[in-house]
Amino acid sequence: MTTHLVWFRNDLRINDNLALAAACRDPGARVVGLFIATPEQWRQHDMSPRQAQFLHSHLDALQASLAERGIELCIRQVPDFAASVECLVQFCENENIDALFYNYQYELNERQRDLTVERGLGKKVICQGFDDSVLLPPGSVTTGNHEMYKVFTPFSKAFIKRLREGLPECVVAPRPRGEALSVMPVEPFDYPCVEIDSSLFPIGERAAIAKLREFCQHPAADYPEQRDFPAIEGTSRLSPYLALGVLSPRQCLHRLLKEHPQVLDGGSGSVWLNELIWREFYRHLLVAYPKLCRHQPFILWTDNVRWQQDEALLDAWQQGKTGYPIVDAAMRQLNTTGWMHNRLRMVVASFLVKDLLIDWRAGERYFMSQLIDGDLAANNGGWQWAASTGTDAAPYFRIFNPTTQGERFDAKGAFIRQWLPELGDVPDKYVHTPWLWADKEQLPLDYPRPIVEHKQARIATLAAYEAARKSEEKENEK
């Protein structure tokens, strides 16, 4: 009897899992699953304690789902990727594995790890990898010169054209391969974990699929009008499930098409489809430009910006004590739930980089340390967009005004008051500038004054970026 091994990573599901489906295609093969936890690697990559707990809970759920089908999921814990290679090679030897099936990860360290595994196994084990976490494989959507797109809009148009030519199909969950197995709870990780609000992010593949169906039925159609208002439940909140592979992007696409058949032609649901394509764009970029995995900006001259080294300002931003209510409410939402509304991610990122003039990499790292949906490609892409350092980023002279952003997207302060109860008595007129109300009424206010003045900060930021750009021009003239 041949034995097939499925190496699970960020693909914790049984439905539409390309590696799992391929491993189970031979009805006579014994199929085993393996997940290798690497806590020291997670520390290096700043995985948040909430995402670690989300991962642990979904490993429990995956183990149970596989056991129902007679497939054992073995779980090992080693410090890092180097040790995981040794662990996997040894597991293959001990279990007489004939073929290894896994779904690709596109980050640089992960790709190097996988290459080392294949070399270590040599010809003893057949290795098969799959482009499972994307709709279209990286490198398959390119310009006429066969280069990766550097601007999103033409990439999106080419991407949708490819989808019209042929949709990526979903594969079904494997059939039972024997009697159901008994399982024990997954052992705790050697890593800090923080409990998750299950009302926001219920555990399990079925719960994730239910959330996807519910969103696609109605909210996806209203997404263009509601997605920018944080007090409204107008977004999908599916990103944590996509980050760990509890859902696949193909499931999202097919469910969206079922509810909104004209989505590829710009009809209802197309704005949310565009968000899925942004996710693809950033993943494709990681493969085309590995430097993005090394904390390097896409636009090289922006590395000459002279950032402020001010720990007090950084700490005020992290703790939600900047004196700008929309920024502070967003940061407290992040710190409490591990998630932040997408519009607010742009606002707080712009504030850190272009009001406080703090290196975007400090923000990128802090987000990863807090996010339940932490994902290198999306997080790096979003931060480089906000900092004007990335491909197709906001121009450096585009600087959000945090007060007007709050007035525009949380006019009466419903979201602000949810996260800043100390502003509960401030009238709507002053909820975005509470210090003005406190001064006018001569009342004490348990809320900080702005730590910077936006107009002055904007001038300083423009000067810093312009100086960096000119220094690059001078270097090129030499």
**Catalytic residue annotation:** 275, 278, 307, 342, 360, 383
CA gap 161, 229 in Å, rounded: 31
CA angle 62, 66, 71 (to 5 degrees): 140
- Residues 6 or more apart whose Cβ sits within 8 Å of residue 403: 324, 326, 432, 433, 454
Sequential DSSP letters for 319-380: HT-SS-HHHHHHHHHHHHHS---HHHHHHHHHIIIIIS---HHHHHHHHHHH-TT--HHHHH
Q: Is 215 annotated as a binding residue?
A: no
Q: Is 374 annotated as a binding residue?
A: yes
Bridge partners for 6 per DSSP: 33, 101
Q: Is 237 annotated as a binding residue?
A: yes
- For residue 219, give the nearest of 203, 200, 238, 245 by alpha carbon: 238
Q: Is 282 annotated as a binding residue?
A: yes
Mapped to the 3 state alphabet, what secondary structure does 127-192 carry? EEEECCCCCCCCCCCECCCCCECCCHHHHHHHHHHHHHHCCCCCCCCCCCCCCCCCCCCCCCCCCC
**Residue for token pair 């008994």:** 182
CA gap 222, 273 in Å, rounded: 13
Q: Is 42 annotated as a binding residue?
A: no
Q: Is 396 annotated as a binding residue?
A: no
CA distances from 142 to 120, 169, 318, 378 (A): 33, 21, 38, 20
Q: Is 119 annotated as a binding residue?
A: no
Q: Is 277 annotated as a binding residue?
A: yes
Q: Is 236 annotated as a binding residue?
A: yes
Q: Is 375 annotated as a binding residue?
A: yes
Q: Determine contact, residues 392/148, Cβ cutoff 8 Å.
A: no
Q: Is 46 annotated as a binding residue?
A: no
Angle between helices 270-288 and 376-386 (to 10 degrees): 100
Q: Is 235 annotated as a binding residue?
A: yes
**Residue for token pair 């109605």:** 218
- Residues 6 or more apart whose Cβ sits within 8 Å of residue 228: 234, 343, 409
CA angle 103, 105, 108 (to 5 degrees): 150
Q: Is 268 annotated as a binding residue?
A: no
Q: Is 389 annotated as a binding residue?
A: no
Q: Which helix (H) or strand (E) holds 126?
A: strand 126-130
Q: Is 299 annotated as a binding residue?
A: no
- For residue 390, give the nearest of 400, 402, 378, 401 by alpha carbon: 378
Q: Is 280 annotated as a binding residue?
A: yes
Coil, helix or strand at residue 37:
strand
CA gap 211, 412 in Å, rounded: 29
Annotated binding site: 223, 235-239, 272, 275-282, 373-375
Binding residues for FAD: 223, 235-239, 272, 275-282, 373-375
